[in-house]
Amino acid sequence: MGVLLFAPFARLRAEQQTSLRVAAAADLQFALKDIAQQYEHQTGRKVEITFGSSGNFFAQIQNGAPFDVFFSADVDYPTHLQQAGLTEPNSLLKYGVGRIVIWMPSGAKIDLLAQKWDALLETTVQKIAIANPEHAPYGRAAVEAMKHAGIYEKVQPKLVYGENISQAAQFVQSGNAQAGIIALSLAVSPAMKSGQRWGVPVEQYSPIEQAVVILKSARDKDSARAFLAFVSSDAGQRTLANYGFATPNAATPPK
């Protein structure tokens, strides 16, 4: 299940193209949009992205949802689809490693960098937003990290669950929660980068290795391969790195 090398992407004439239908984990909301814009500019090919939770997409794809490519926030969901014969053979590609951070608004009267996990125990923090761990890999990572830190039982009554990691981020950004454990890729986005964030130590949760796969039902498999080639190119990997993703099997991503 190593990195797959795809054929170089090439420009198609407009009359030959159909939009590439991409299902993508919500932590990619900004990074993948950025990559898709670069790709469309260079190739003229259109990319239509739907963002949501990996687990929900997994269920939808099993039920025949019309997507060509699936970017998951973990490796397990694409692997299960591959084992079920719902993907193109040998198309699974690990594209990045995510990480989680605690995020608070800049106006919070808590020194998050100094208090770290203890910040969540403050009485002023009444709600803590995370993604639903039942179908969101980032939610599972948040729960695992809190248990590792020994605070899960203390803060469990405060937890509120977003349908995906983007909704969890919206809860805390809007003030409906006073803190959130969210994806670094969202915390560095323009709307949230002014807030406080503390990177949860990566040894406190399992690596969030993320993978993409081409689906068996893809309308244009060559276009799908071309887009994945762009994602794994130097330009695509630089963009992912800008949003806090590490290269699989590489060093810890920057804070």
Asked if 208 and 98 touch (Cβ cutoff 8 Å), the reply is yes
Residue 2 lies in a domain: no
The pLDDT value recorded for residue 11 is 46
Do 187 and 231 have their domain in common? Answer: no
Asked if residue 144 is part of any domain, the answer here is: yes
**Band of residue 250 on the pLDDT scale cut at 50, 70, 90:** very low
Summarised one tens digit per residue, pLDDT across range 116-154 is: 999 999 999 999 999 999 989 999 999 999 999 999 999
Mean per-residue pLDDT over the chain, rounded? 90
Higher pLDDT, 106 or 58: 58
Query: Does 14 score more than 50 pLDDT?
Result: no
pLDDT tens column, 63-77? 999 999 999 999 999
Enter the DSSP assignment of 114: H
Q: 116 with 59, same domain?
A: no
Domain that holds residue 231: 14-97+209-242
Find out whether 208 and 100 touch, Cβ atoms under 8 Å: yes
Q: For residue 27, what is the domain's CATH number?
A: 3.40.190.10
The Cα–Cα gap between 230 and 251 comes to 22
Local structure of 139: helix, strand or coil: helix
Residue 92 to residue 7: CA distance in whole angstroms: 15
80 and 104 housed in the same domain: no
pTM: 0.86
